[in-house]
Amino acid sequence: MAHIALIITGLTGRLHSSFKLATKLQSEGHSIIYLCPQNVREKVVKHGFDYVQLSPINFGYKHSTLKNIQSSSWVKRFVYHYKNYFNHYEIGKKVLGLEVYKAELKKVKPDHFIIDVELHDLIFAASALNIPVTLFTAWFSNNMGLGLKLPPLRTNIIPGNGIKGSSLGILASWLFIKFKVQARILVNKLTFKDYRRKVLRKFAKENNFPTNTLIESNLPYLFCYTNLPILSFTLSEMDFPHKPAKNHIYVGPMIYEKRDFNFDVKSIHLIDEIINEKQMTNKKLIYFSVGSILVPDIDFVKKIIKSIEEEKNWLLIVSLGGKLPIDTFKPQTNCFFIPWVPQLKVLEHTDCAIVHGGINTISECLHYAVPMLAYSANVAEGNGNAARIHYHKLGIMGDKINDSSKEIREHINKILNDKTYKNNLNTLNSIYRKYEEKTLSEHLNTKC
The string of DSSP letters for 287-338 reads EEE--SSSPP-HHHHHHHHHHHTT-TTEEEEEE-TTTS-GGGS--BTTEEEE
Please give the pLDDT value at position 390: 97
The dihedral over CA atoms of 260, 262, 268, 269, expressed in degrees to the nearest 10, equals 120
pLDDT level of residue 12 (50, 70, 90 thresholds): confident
Q: What percent of the chain has pLDDT over 90?
A: 58
Q: Kindly give, in sequence order, each residue whose CB lies less than 8 Å from that of residue 439, ignoring residues fewer than 6 positions away.
A: 24, 28
Three-state SS for 17? helix
Burial 149-167 (b: 16+ CB within 10 A, else e): ebbbbbbbbbbeeeebbee
Q: How many Cα atoms occupy the beta-carbon half-sphere of 29 within 13 Å?
A: 5
Residue 216 has pLDDT above 90, yes or no: no
- Residues contacting 426, CB < 8 A, separation 6+: 369
Closest CA to 192 of 314, 36, 70: 70
pLDDT at 21 > cutoff 50: yes
Q: What is the pLDDT of residues 294-350, one digit of tens each?
A: 667 788 888 999 999 889 999 999 988 776 777 777 778 899 998 888 899 999 999
Residue 242: helix, strand or coil by DSSP? coil
Rg, the chain, Cα only: 23
* Cα gap 134→127, rounded to integer Å: 10
- Residue 94: is its pLDDT beyond 80? no
Tally Cβ neighbours within 10 Å of residue 271: 19
Confidence of residue 79 (pLDDT cuts 50, 70, 90): low
Q: Inter-axis angle of helices 382-391 and 359-367, to 10 degrees?
A: 30
The larger pLDDT score, comparing residue 446 to residue 398, is at 398
Q: Each residue of 145-166: pLDDT tens digit?
A: 766 789 999 899 999 999 999 9
Least confident of 171-185, 256-270, 379-393: 256-270
Average pLDDT of the chain is: 87
In sequence order, the β-bridge partners of residue 284 are: 314
The confidence score (pLDDT) of residue 68 equals: 52
In this prediction, residue 64 carries a pLDDT of 41
Question: What is d(CA 125, CA 104) in angstroms, rounded to the nearest whole number?
Answer: 10
Q: Among the listed ranges 26-30, 197-201, 363-367, which one has the minimum average pLDDT value?
A: 197-201
Report how far apart, in Å, the C-alpha atoms of 246 and of each of 119, 151, 234, 402, 442 are. Answer: 21, 18, 16, 39, 15
Longest dimension (CA), the chain: 75
Task: Say yes or no: domain 3-77+96-256 is CATH 3.40.50.
Answer: yes
Please report the DSSP string for 425-442 in residue order. Answer: HHHHHHHHHHHHHS-SGG
As beta bridge partners, residue 288 has 318, 354
* Model pLDDT, residue 92: 67
Residue 6, SS3 per DSSP: strand
222 has pLDDT over 90: no
Closest CA to 127 of 107, 110, 113, 109: 113
Confidence bin at 62 (pLDDT 50/70/90): very low
CA distance 362 to 330: 28
With a cut of 70, say whether residue 173 has pLDDT above it.
yes
Half-sphere exposure of 256 (CA within 13 A, CB side): 18
Lowest mean pLDDT among 107-121, 151-165, 205-219, 395-409: 205-219
Q: With a cut of 50, say whether residue 96 has pLDDT above it.
A: yes
Q: pLDDT band at 385, cuts 50/70/90?
A: very high
For the ranges 64-68, 106-110, 214-218, the maximum mean pLDDT occurs at 106-110
In this prediction the pTM is 0.88
Q: Which fold has domain 265-434?
A: Rossmann fold (3.40.50)
Give the model confidence (pLDDT) of 392-423 as tens digits: 999 999 999 899 999 999 999 999 999 999 99
Residues of the chain with CATH 3.40.50.2000: 265-434
Question: Band of the pLDDT at 224, cuts 50, 70, 90?
Answer: confident
The pLDDT score that the predictor gives to residue 63 is: 40
Q: Does 319 or 217 have the greater pLDDT score?
A: 319
